[in-house]
Structure 1
């Protein structure tokens, strides 16, 4: 099997490529080739016995998507895109990366011809939903995004569903909650503070909290997120039905509850490294996001997330800190 991963230099893309390389197979079929692409060079995953092709390019540029699918990868994980606050601050960049790149990819697949119908797993976002919200967002809630990022993701969901309906590809879109705890340097996501208030104190660094501790949100770890992608790749068209975009499960908690989970795992000294610094832009963006999801359909289809935020903190320690909290 040939697998293509877009956005392979990003955090989720890297962890996904590592998981694919480590497993070496999907659904009992051996992975013989990995094509990894991003606007910066993706790292080579270790321990993979097959071929690895790395392509450093802009997916939205003319001809790039056609070149990537010319070798007919059977499975495509479309993870590429820019994050929420960046898409809000730079309208043109957000639409180019999130919408134009996706359409270029889907059209390139369509133009290969009827004999080619790959599985496409797309990372969407719960930002496709917009206020006013009920207490819990169920699987039938309407898409009325209140940010450019959410709008771009909603448009891509509709395109993915339409191209799947017309038989050009076999798509599934995953509406991800906040992915937390993200390792590495901070990115430009408005949700970045959810990770920073855990990651930075655990590393012995101070960080800022731009919103109230009462802010409520739903989270899944990078490990669970990669698990969502792998699981989605194995879902049949019959299991999915016509509604191919699915809200993923996660742990719903307040920022204050996140901080208390950090305290239980790492103690008072870690919590003391969080400094309150309200940011009106971040507060406005976060206020337009949904908070709690039922995700009954995803759970019925076999998607699994963590059961507590303590577990999410411990996964970060295990996966990204070598199993121990630095002194």
Structure 2
């Protein structure tokens, strides 16, 4: 559900950039209450894992469409809403700048659509309320499923509203929304299943991580090296190998656009859109998670394309890990400086 710049107007894009920056600033302020030296690497490896997971598009049967995990809910459950939002922002920044996945003008929209609803709406208002009944396999499953579905529905609806406010007449509201919501319902079900599986594993082996995140508390003396190692191993396998088998079908947004307008992509307007496109062309060294030479060779073989995908998964995961961890480190230093000044 990564929006391209062609889908939005400069006014909508600028407004959503402002809203997202404000939300990030709020998160930086609030995360100072619960960040410590152990949450920093956890932010990094979870960011890398979600980056890799988003590369795997899975086919939606009988539709000719595909979907991929968003990961915002999972980040909120394991890191807390504030660290989760900042980590999602790190993922989407890396994707837009270096892999041309989502536009630069639309980056504020994408961070908001995929991070705000999951971290600040469904996680505290739905997931945590269900968990008040006690952590169990059943409650984790129900909480993950309901929250993932509602979060994705809100995100998909926001995409429709943003295109409407941008005056995209190629995507009439009624037709577009009637396609976007059902296809993202199917994607939300898969996201709920995966989220429940991951959260169930973490809770069974490292319950304090999830409990501390729910209480907005620092991890303290919890031993998480095994958890970090497990996430790293799964991330390498996901981004380096499983990403080869991603579905070639258009994702839910592209499929909805195709059914509505007859095109998976809209024409890029002149002005700021083309300026940002040129910037992205220069910064994206692995566009669409493949080598640029792969795009130029019409008869590229599957192993060569897979090598580009593998490199993208590993390098992108590492870059996301560094950015997310650096964000956490900077906030942690700000917290220590604030305490020192107060003392």
Normalised by the length of structure 1, the TM-score is: 0.28
- Return the structure number with greater helix share: 2
The structure whose RCO (Cα within 8 Å, separation 6+) is larger is: 2
Q: TM-score, normalised by structure 2?
A: 0.27
Which has a greater percent of strand?
1
